[in-house]
């Protein structure tokens, strides 16, 4: 019964993905940029494998994170501003179920979008007869990025309880790009989360070595632990919120 | 993120503009203004940032994906390409990626769990691209000089990468473009001189190398010698020009050049040359 309520809230978020034009626009953008990267020629020469893979993976990863953050950042503020949250909470839905439903909905939206982007990328690699990256490594890239999307979704959902949609979107994007680009270079970083470990773009572009299963498993558990921490914190804050 | 049709049109226009940026000859349209021009400062700075980023990508590719900052732990400033061009590294053969410096980076303290996982998910080995994979580096040099036509390092090392791939025509075209955009760069003129010298076109080589030596002598602005790579380029310009003089039988001119560069950069090889020429003169 409780699961049904969570799924109802999550379903409403997924319907939003279909209704809104964000996803279609981003998909069109991805296709245009992939076509451009595919046809780009340098010094009269084209068909650069690593360059193409780098552009394609960067776009698929970044665009799905953008969707996760933009959806997560506006869920609770929009419900509050439009006062639909009051209607929702008059139903037998607990605040914990509400938070969990929102998280699940945004996470699924992000994963669905990412799956489409990733499929476009894999299809274009196959069309270019690029079989250098093992299928298992591609699958690991998919799984770890899905874990990263869960991490970013829960973090953004937590931050949305403290700041406006725009500020939250900006801070969450800075957190993502900052961690992915500079995460491993910050000294004294042991007590902070390491989302950069979930990003294996460089491996996918430059290496054909598959990541051991214990590493992937540990990272998924690691991400799940942070998701639980962020969602618990979000619930604790939201529970006390005077609505 | 609610967007009206007009905003979508604007976004598409912006996207289209971004994609055509690569095909624009920036130099042709570049607004040349005073140093104090705010627009030039802001946008010029942004273009240089993109060029630097592209250069870092080239270095990253050269190291088989090892991030630039990690590569910097092994090489001064991460410039392995500069080192290699100067003969510090040996060239990689074809086949599997060259792993002559295949070691794990030592930046992470100890061998904790983070370090172990990091090693598995990131590129931590310094492996150089094989000769056949070397072409993968090229797009980043073209992007670097497209965004900053005054990126001399991009032109010199891009041309070096083309030479490694035995793409001599493209190498020459790339260097000539660099010389057009940076007519007073001693490094580019030295590279052009070297290109002609190795092909036995001594008249062309003489032209470029004598101009290069003149600029090295002045040592102004971009031709100031600050790094070992610039020092090596200067040495090469003098050395090759001296060799041309020798081939022409102008030993005293060659001796003068060798002495001049020996005073700036003493080396045993130069001493030997000077001694040899003096003996012949006597």
pLDDT tens digits for range A20-65:
888 888 999 999 988 888 888 887 788 888 999 999 999 999 999 9
Question: Quick check: B121 and A203 CB within 8 A?
Answer: yes
Question: Quick check: A197 and B121 CB within 8 A?
Answer: yes
Mean pLDDT of B132-155: 90
Q: What is the pLDDT of residues B241-251, one digit of tens each?
A: 999 999 998 88
- Closest chain A C-alpha to B15 CA, distance in angstroms: 8
Question: Quick check: A51 and B118 CB within 8 A?
Answer: no
pLDDT value at residue B17: 64
- Closest chain A C-alpha to B193 CA, distance in angstroms: 21
pLDDT value at residue B103: 46
pLDDT value at residue B227: 86
Q: What is the pLDDT of residues B131-140, one digit of tens each?
A: 677 888 999 9
Chain B partners within 8 Å of A49 (Cβ): 136
Q: Would you give the distance in Å from CA B145 to the centre of its chain?
A: 11
3-state secondary structure A148-179: HHHHHHHHHHHHCCCCCHHHHHHHHHHHHHHH
B162 contact A CB<8A: yes
CB B127 within 8 A of CB B98: yes
Out of B57, B122, B173, closest to residue A203 by CB: B122
The residue ranges of chain A whose pLDDT is under 70 are: 1, 184-190
Question: Which of B122, B138, B143, B147 has the highest number of chain A CBs within 10 A, making it the mutation to test binding with A?
Answer: B122
- Closest chain B C-alpha to A91 CA, distance in angstroms: 29
Question: Quick check: A190 and B142 CB within 8 A?
Answer: no
Q: Which range has the top average pLDDT, A180-189, B59-68, B216-225, B263-272?
A: B216-225
Q: Is the pLDDT of residue B41 over 90?
A: no
B15 contact A CB<8A: yes
| Burial degree of B227 (CB within 10 A; 0-12, 13-18, 19+) | middle
ipTM of predicted assembly, 2 dp: 0.81
Question: Which of B24, B121, B138, B155 has the highest number of chain A CBs within 10 A, making it the mutation to test binding with A?
Answer: B121
Neighbours of A3 (CB within 10 A): 11
Question: Which of A19, A31, A43, A219 has the highest number of chain B CBs within 10 A, making it the mutation to test binding with B?
Answer: A43
pTM: 0.78
Beta bridge partners of B209: none
A166 contact B CB<8A: no
A205 contact B CB<8A: yes
Give the model's confidence band at B95: pLDDT under 50 very low, under 70 low, under 90 confident, else very high.
very low
DSSP H helices, B64-164, are 68-71, 80-85, 113-121, 138-147, 152-164
Mean pLDDT of B108-113: 61
Mean pLDDT of B192-206: 95
A46 contact B CB<8A: no
pLDDT value at residue B30: 46
Beta bridge partners of A42: A45
In the A/B pair of chains, how many CB contacts fall below 8 A? Answer: 82
Q: Is the pLDDT of residue B9 over 80?
A: no
Q: Is the pLDDT of residue B27 over 50?
A: no
């Amino acid at each position: 019964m409780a699961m049904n309520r969570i799924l109802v809230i999550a379903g409403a978020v997924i319907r939003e993905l279909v209704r809104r034009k964000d996803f279609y626009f981003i998909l069109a953008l991805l296709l245009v940029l992939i076509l451009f990267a595919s046809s780009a020629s340098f010094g009269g020469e084209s068909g650069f494998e690593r360059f193409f893979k780098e552009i394609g993976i960067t776009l698929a990863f970044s665009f799905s994170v953008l969707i996760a953050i933009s959806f997560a950042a506006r869920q609770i503020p929009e419900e509050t501003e439009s006062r639909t949250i009051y209607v929702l909470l008059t139903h037998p839905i607990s605040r914990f179920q509400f938070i969990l439903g929102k998280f699940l909905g945004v996470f699924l939206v992000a994963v669905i979008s990412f799956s489409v982007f990733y499929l476009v990328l894999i299809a274009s690699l196959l069309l270019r007869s690029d079989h250098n990256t093992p299928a298992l490594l591609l699958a690991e890239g998919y799984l770890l990025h899905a874990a990263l999307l869960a991490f970013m979704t829960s973090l953004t959902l937590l931050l949305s309880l403290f700041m406006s949609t725009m500020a939250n979107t900006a801070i969450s994007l800075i957190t993502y790009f900052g961690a992915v680009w500079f995460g491993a270079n910050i000294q004294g970083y042991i007590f902070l989360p390491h989302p950069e470990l979930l990003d294996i773009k460089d491996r996918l572009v430059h290496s054909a070595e598959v990541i051991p299963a214990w590493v992937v498993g540990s990272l998924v558990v690691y991400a799940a632990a942070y998701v639980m921490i962020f969602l618990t914190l979000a619930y604790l804050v939201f529970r006390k919120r005077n609505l | 993120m609610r967007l009206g049709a007009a905003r979508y049109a604007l976004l598409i226009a912006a996207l289209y503009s971004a994609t055509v940026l690569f095909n624009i000859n920036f130099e042709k349209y570049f607004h040349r203004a005073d140093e104090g021009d705010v627009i030039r400062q802001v946008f010029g700075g942004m273009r240089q940032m993109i060029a630097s980023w592209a250069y870092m990508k080239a270095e990253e590719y050269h190291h088989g994906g090892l991030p630039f900052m990690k590569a910097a732990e092994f090489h001064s400033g991460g410039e392995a390409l500069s080192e290699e061009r100067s003969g510090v590294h040996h060239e990689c053969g074809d086949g599997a990626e060259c792993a002559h410096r295949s070691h794990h980076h030592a930046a992470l303290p100890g061998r904790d769990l983070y370090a172990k996982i990091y090693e598995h998910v990131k590129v931590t080995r310094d492996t150089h691209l094989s000769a056949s994979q070397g072409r993968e580096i090229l797009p980043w040099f073209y992007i670097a000089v497209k965004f900053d036509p005054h990126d001399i390092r991009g032109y010199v090392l891009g041309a070096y990468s083309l030479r490694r791939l035995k793409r001599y025509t493209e190498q020459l075209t790339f260097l000539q473009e660099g010389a057009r955009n940076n007519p007073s760069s001693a490094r580019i003129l030295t590279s052009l001189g070297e290109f002609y010298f190795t092909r036995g076109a001594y008249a062309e080589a003489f032209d470029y190398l004598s101009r290069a030596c003149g600029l090295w002598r002045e040592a102004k602005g971009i031709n100031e010698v600050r790094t070992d790579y610039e020092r090596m380029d200067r040495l090469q310009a003098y050395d090759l020009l001296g060799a041309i003089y020798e081939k022409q039988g102008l030993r005293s001119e060659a001796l003068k050049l060798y002495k001049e560069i020996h005073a700036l950069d003493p080396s045993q090889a130069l001493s030997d040359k000077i001694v040899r020429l003096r003996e012949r003169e006597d």
